[in-house]
Amino acid sequence: MYTGKTFLLTGATKGIGRQIAINLATNNAKLIAIARNNDDLIKLQDDLQSKGGPHLYYSLDVSNELLVKQIFEKINQQVSLLDGIINCAGSFGSIGKFEETSPSQFLESIQINLMGSYNICYHGFKLLSKAPKGKIINFAGGGVTGTFPNYSGYACSKIALTKLTENLSVEYPNLDINIIAPGFVKTDLANQTIMAGDRAGSFYQKTKKMLLEGGIDVKFTVDLINYLLSEQANGISGKLISAPWDQWKEVHYQKEIKENHDFCTIRRIDNKYFTSMESDI
C-alpha cells in the first residue's frame, strides 16, 4: 500500500501513535518515528525490524522548536521528501478549574498540543512540498466541538490546531491538510485524568466508565488515516473528521466533504447561514 512512500509520525511509541506506526510499517512505508522517550523508541524499533523500512527513529520533545529544527537538519540529509506528516503527540497537560491551574501549566498544554504540531509542520514543510501529493494529518480532541471544562488548556490548544489546519488548507491548496478526532481510545492519556481525580470534574467518572467498557477501537482511527493518505481522498482538505462517528466510508459522505466548503468544519450557529438542529427559531 505504501511502498516507496515516507511518512513522519510523532507520538509514535504509545497508544494510537504506536498502532499507526505498526500499520504504516506493515504496509511497506518508510517511517520517521518521533517520540520523547528513547527507550520506547528502541522497543518500537525492535517491533518494526522486519516491517517496511528502513525506518528512522528520533527522540525529541516536539514542543522545543530549536530541537525540532536540529532534527530536521538530519532528516533533510536522509530523505528527499515526505509524503505525509502525522502529528499524534499530545497531552492533556493542566487539569482543573481555571483558578486551580497556573498560567505556566496552561501554556505547557499549548506548547505540546499546538506548537508541537506547528513546529513539525513548519520544519517539515519543504520536504512535504516535494511530494506529488503531500498530506498532513493532525489530531483534535475534547473541547473542539463542545465544552471540555477543567481541561481548558487542552481544549484551547486543540481548537487552535483545528483552525490552523483549516487555514493551511486554504493557503496551500496543493496539499491535503486535515485534522481527525479519534474518540475515547483506551491509552495512557486516560491515566492523566485518573491521577487528577476530582480536579477532572465529571470527566473523571466518565473516564473510569469508558476504561471499564474498553473505549473506542483504535481501528477506526487507523482506517481513517489509511483513507486520508490514499489517492481516493485527494482533494479532501481543511476538514475535521471523526474517526468513529462520521460516515467517511460512504460515497455520498466523501462527495459532500469534497464539494461542501463548510461541511466538517467549525462554524458559528447564527440561524442565518448555520442553524442548530435543536433550534426552534
How many Cβ atoms sit within 10 Å of the Cβ of residue 77?
7
- Strand runs labelled E in the chain: 6-10, 30-35, 56-59, 84-87, 135-139, 176-181, 240-242
6-10 and 84-87 as β-strands: parallel, antiparallel, unpaired? parallel
The pTM score is 0.95
Residue 130's alpha-carbon distances to 84, 122, 171, in angstroms, are 11, 14, 16
User: For 15, left (φ over 0), alpha (ψ -120 to 50), or beta?
Assistant: left
Judge contact between 243 and 141, C-beta under 8 A.
Answer: no
d(CA 236, CA 178): 8
Residue 274: pLDDT band with limits 50, 70, 90: confident
Helices (H), 133-234: 152-171, 189-196, 202-213, 219-229
Domain covering 6-183+217-246: architecture: 3-Layer(aba) Sandwich (3.40)
Distance CA 110, CA 91 (A): 10
Measured N-to-C along each axis, helices 152-171 and 103-110 cross at an angle, to the nearest 10 degrees, of 30
| Cα 40 off chain centre by | 19
Q: How far is CA 225 from the centre of its chain?
A: 10
How confident is the model over 96-146, as pLDDT tens digits? Answer: 999 999 999 999 999 999 999 999 999 999 999 999 999 999 999 989 999
pLDDT of residue 52: 83
Distance CA 51, CA 1 (A): 13
| 272 — pLDDT class (breaks 50, 70, 90) | confident
Reported confidence tier of residue 269, pLDDT bands at 50, 70, 90? confident
Number of C-beta neighbours around residue 259 at 10 A: 9
Q: Decide if 12 contacts 4 (C-beta within 8 A).
A: no
* Average pLDDT, rounded, for the chain: 95
In angstroms, the CA 60 to CA 201 distance is 32
Q: CA 158 to CA 155: how far, in whole Å?
A: 5
Cell 518515528 -> residue: 33
